[in-house]
């Protein structure tokens, strides 16, 4: 009974829009070599797109971090110690896919900034004819 009440309380908090990590994800297939027939994205082109979007937003790009032998992460954030724009950009590269993640810690109304950043990634991929999938989610614990 007690655990049911705790679970019900947590669900009410989540549904009412408590502050949490909110993400908008643009996912594209990865390809090793760019050809006219491929609809995937090379790591080099993805890094260029990531830097371009970060520059458009006035963000600082952090050097790539090799998470494992087959996974690399890039990140970017607004400049300064405590920036007003709390959106963070992350790009994950693994053997199969490339994910552009736009994240913000806040309420549902704060998701607009992350959605605008994700739209820039979508525009860049659309311009190059690269297939992609858009999704959004929220999480209590960051990725």
Backbone φ and ψ of 63, nearest 5°: -55, 160
pLDDT of residue 91: 92
Which of the following CATH numbers is that of domain 19-139: 3.30.310, 1.20.120, 3.30.559, 3.30.70?
A: 3.30.310
CA angle 53, 123, 89 (to 5 degrees): 35
Of the candidates 103, 137, 130, 140, which has an alpha carbon nearest to the alpha carbon of residue 118? 103
How much is the pTM? 0.75
Return the domain boundaries, the chain: 19-139
Q: Which helix (H) or strand (E) holds 11?
A: helix 2-15
Within the chain, which residues score under 50 in pLDDT?
none
pLDDT of residue 108: 74
């Amino acid at each position: 009974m007690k655990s049911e009440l705790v679970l019900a309380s947590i669900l009410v908090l989540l549904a009412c829009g408590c502050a949490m990590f909110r993400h908008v994800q643009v996912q594209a297939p990865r390809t090793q070599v760019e050809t006219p027939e491929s609809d995937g994205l090379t790591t080099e082109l993805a890094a260029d797109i990531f830097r371009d979007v970060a520059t458009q937003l006035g963000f600082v790009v952090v050097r790539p971090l090799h998470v494992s032998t087959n996974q690399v992460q890039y990140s970017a954030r607004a400049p300064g110690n405590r920036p007003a724009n709390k959106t963070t950009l992350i790009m994950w590269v693994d053997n199969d896919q490339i994910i552009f993640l736009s994240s913000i810690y806040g309420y549902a109304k704060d998701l607009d900034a992350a959605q605008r950043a994700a739209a820039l990634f979508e525009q860049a991929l659309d311009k190059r004819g690269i297939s992609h999938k858009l999704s959004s989610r929220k999480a209590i614990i960051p990725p």
